[in-house]
C-alpha cells in the first residue's frame, strides 16, 4: 500500500472526477451524448426511480460526463458534492428554489452581477419571497436586516463590478447564529483563489461560463454543497419534511448530508429542467485542467494593468482590491492571498462620453458582455450589463457613469498596456 498522500490543487484540477473509461480505455472523459440509459432489468429501473439506487435514467437529471464535472468542481471547492446546471443563473435559481418557500425572506449583497440583481428582484417577488439588499461591507447592516423569516444570506466573493471582497467568515457566523446558510457566488475568485467553504460558507454557486470554462465558449453553472448545514433545525420544512413532489420522501432524513443535493437534483433540476449539456460539461472539464495556470496568469496581468491605470491622468480611480488605496485590501489579503482576481473597474475622468470614446478606441480588448475569458474584455456597465438599474441602484452597486469594467486576459501584459495607453490617449 502506498503511503497516505493528499493531492495538491493542480493535480486535482486535472484528475478529480475522471478515470480512464473502463470499456474502451479512453483517457479523456468521453462525451456521453445520450438522453437515456438502458436499464439492466425492471427491478433496477424501479430502484433508480425510487432513489434506492443511484444510477442514470435520463440526462435531464444526470449524465456521466456532467457527473465527472460535478465531482471535479466539488473536489476543488471542498464540498460533499455538486449539481450542474445549464447556466450560472439557473444554478442560483435552483439553489434558492430548493431551500425557500413563499413567505420566506432572503438577504443579498447590493453589489452583485447585474443579471443576478435583476433575477432576484423579479423572481423573488413572483415567488413571494421577501428580499432585502444590504451593503456587503457593513456586517452590522446585514445583522440589522435579519428577520425571523430570513432563510439565506447571499453575496459574491468578489463583487461585480464594485470589486468588494465579502467578509465570508463574519457573515457565515452571523448566518449560522440565525440558523440560516450562507450562499456565496464564487465565480470571480474560482476555487483556485478562494474556497468559501473553508471560511464557513454552506452553499457555493458558480457561473462556469467564466473562468472555469475559461475560453468564452459555453454557458453553464454549478451548485456546490459543503454538507455542513443542518437542514433539520426546524426552519427548512421544504428540505426536511416528506416531499409531496417525491412520493413523501424526506430528503434530509433519507440522505443525511446529501439531502439538499439530492433534492436539488431529483426535484428541482427535474422540474425546472435547466440541465447542463454533456458537451459543455466536457469543455468545462478541459477548462478546469488549466484553471490554476490560467488564474495565476490572469492575476499577474491584472496587477500590471491596475498599476498602469492608477498612474494615468485620465483615470480618476481604480477599484482593484489589492491596491494600497482599496478599502478591501485587508479582506483581499485574508480571503484572496493568491490574488484578487482579474475583473475590476476603473473610472474615467471624462465620465460617460469618455467611456464611449475609450471603448471604441481599444483594439485588443473585446467590447462584450462576458468576463473570465482567456481574451481581455471590456464593458461600460451603466449602458449594458446594469442598464436595467435606476441611478440609486447603480450607485448602490458602485457604478458611476464613467465606470469601465475590465476582464484581464492572459495575453502579454505589455500588449494590454499598449492598447489601454493608446485608447486613453484618444481622450485628449
Comparing every residue's Cβ against ligand PLP, the nearest one is 88
CA–CA distance, 160 with 166 (Å, rounded to integer): 11
Q: Is 355 exposed, middle or buried (0-12, 13-18, 19+ CB in 10 A)?
A: buried
Residue length of the chain: 428
Smallest distance, ligand PLP to C-beta of residue 240, A: 28
Smallest distance, ligand PLP to C-beta of residue 399, A: 15
Given 68, 182, 201, 219, the residue binding ligand PLP (CB under 6 A): 219
Classify 366 as helix, strand or coil: strand
Smallest distance, ligand PLP to C-beta of residue 257, A: 26
Minimum CB distance to ligand PLP smaller for 16 or for 276: 276
Whether residue 359 contacts residue 378, with contact meaning beta carbons closer than 8 Å, is answered with: yes
For 45, phi then psi, to 5°, come to -60, -45
Residue 118, Cα to own-chain centre: how many angstroms?
16
Given 187, 190, 226, 376, the residue binding ligand PLP (CB under 6 A): 187
Q: Given the rule CB under 6 A, which of 22-30, 47-55, 185-193, 237-245 is the region that contacts ligand PLP?
A: 185-193
Q: Say whether residue 371 binds ligand PLP (CB under 6 A).
A: yes
Minimum CB distance to ligand PLP smaller for 62 or for 89: 89
Residue 148: count other Cβ atoms within 10 Å of its Cβ: 7
Q: Say whether residue 116 binds ligand PLP (CB under 6 A).
A: yes
Q: Say whether residue 407 binds ligand PLP (CB under 6 A).
A: no
Cα→Cα distances 100→12, 103, 129, Å: 33, 9, 8
Given 70, 137, 167, 185, the residue binding ligand PLP (CB under 6 A): 185
Instruction: Provide DSSP, 212-267.
Output: TT-SS----EEEEE-S-S-TTSSS-HHHHSPBTTTTTB-HHHHHGGGHHHHHIIII
Smallest distance, ligand PLP to C-beta of residue 141, A: 21
Q: Say whether residue 156 binds ligand PLP (CB under 6 A).
A: yes
Whether residue 45 contacts residue 55, with contact meaning beta carbons closer than 8 Å, is answered with: no
Smallest distance, ligand PLP to C-beta of residue 405, A: 11
Q: Say whether residue 308 binds ligand PLP (CB under 6 A).
A: no
Contacts of ligand PLP in 83-102 (CB under 6 A): 87-89
CA–CA distance, 55 with 217 (Å, rounded to integer): 30
Q: Say whether residue 209 binds ligand PLP (CB under 6 A).
A: yes
Contacts of ligand PLP in 343-362 (CB under 6 A): none
Q: Say whether residue 115 binds ligand PLP (CB under 6 A).
A: yes
Smallest distance, ligand PLP to C-beta of residue 67, A: 20
Closest among 281, 290, 310 to 13, alpha carbons compared: 290
Closest among 407, 426, 390, 424 to 114, alpha carbons compared: 390
Smallest distance, ligand PLP to C-beta of residue 85, A: 9
Minimum CB distance to ligand PLP smaller for 157 or for 326: 157
What does the binding site for ligand PLP look like in residue numbers (CB under 6 A)?
87-89, 113, 115-116, 156, 160, 185, 187-188, 207, 209-210, 219, 221, 371
Amino acid at each position: 500500500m502506498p503511503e497516505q498522500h493528499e493531492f495538491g490543487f493542480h493535480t486535482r484540477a486535472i484528475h478529480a472526477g475522471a478515470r480512464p473509461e473502463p470499456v474502451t480505455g479512453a483517457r479523456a472523459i468521453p462525451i456521453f451524448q445520450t438522453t437515456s440509459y438502458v436499464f439492466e432489468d425492471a427491478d433496477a429501473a424501479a430502484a433508480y426511480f425510487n432513489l434506492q439506487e443511484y444510477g442514470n435514467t435520463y440526462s435531464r437529471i444526470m449524465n456521466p460526463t456532467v457527473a465527472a464535472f460535478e465531482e471535479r468542481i466539488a473536489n476543488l471547492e471542498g464540498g460533499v458534492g455538486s449539481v450542474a446546471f445549464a447556466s450560472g443563473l439557473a444554478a442560483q435559481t435552483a439553489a434558492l428554489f430548493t431551500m425557500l418557500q413563499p413567505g420566506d425572506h432572503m438577504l443579498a449583497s447590493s453589489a452583485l452581477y447585474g443579471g443576478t440583481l435583476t433575477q432576484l428582484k423579479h423572481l423573488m417577488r413572483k415567488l413571494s419571497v421577501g428580499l432585502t439588499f444590504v451593503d456587503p461591507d457593513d456586517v452590522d447592516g446585514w445583522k440589522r436586516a435579519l428577520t425571523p423569516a430570513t432563510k439565506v444570506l447571499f453575496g459574491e466573493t468578489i463583487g461585480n463590478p464594485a470589486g468588494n471582497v465579502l467578509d465570508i467568515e463574519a457573515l457565515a457566523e452571523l448566518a449560522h447564529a440565525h440558523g440560516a446558510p450562507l450562499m456565496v457566488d464564487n465565480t470571480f475568485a474560482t476555487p483556485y483563489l478562494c474556497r468559501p467553504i473553508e471560511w464557513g460558507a454552506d452553499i457555493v454557486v458558480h457561473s462556469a461560463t467564466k473562468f472555469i470554462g475559461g475560453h468564452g465558449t459555453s454557458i453553464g453553472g454549478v451548485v456546490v454543497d459543503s454538507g455542513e448545514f443542518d437542514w433539520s433545525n426546524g426552519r427548512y420544512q421544504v428540505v426536511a419534511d416528506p416531499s409531496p413532489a417525491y412520493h413523501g420522501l424526506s430528503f434530509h432524513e433519507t440522505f443525511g448530508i446529501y439531502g439538499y443535493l439530492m433534492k436539488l437534483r431529483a426535484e428541482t433540476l427535474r422540474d425546472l429542467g435547466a440541465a447542463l449539456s454533456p458537451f459543455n460539461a466536457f469543455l468545462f472539464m478541459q477548462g478546469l485542467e488549466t484553471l490554476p495556470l490560467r488564474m495565476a496568469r490572469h492575476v499577474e496581468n491584472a496587477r500590471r494593468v491596475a498599476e498602469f491605470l492608477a498612474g494615468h491622468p485620465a483615470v480618476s480611480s481604480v477599484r482593484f482590491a489589492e491596491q494600497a488605496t482599496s478599502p478591501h485590501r485587508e479582506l483581499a489579503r485574508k480571503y484572496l492571498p493568491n490574488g484578487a482576481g482579474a475583473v475590476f473597474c476603473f473610472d474615467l475622468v471624462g465620465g460617460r462620453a469618455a467611456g464611449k470614446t475609450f471603448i471604441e478606441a481599444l483594439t485588443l480588448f473585446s467590447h462584450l458582455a462576458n468576463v473570465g475569458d482567456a481574451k481581455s474584455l471590456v464593458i461600460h456597465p451603466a449602458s449594458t450589463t446594469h442598464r436595467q438599474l435606476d441611478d440609486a441602484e447603480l450607485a448602490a452597486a458602485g457604478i458611476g457613469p464613467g465606470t469601465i469594467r475590465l476582464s484581464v486576459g492572459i495575453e502579454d501584459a505589455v500588449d494590454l498596456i499598449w492598447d489601454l495607453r493608446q485608447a486613453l490617449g484618444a481622450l485628449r
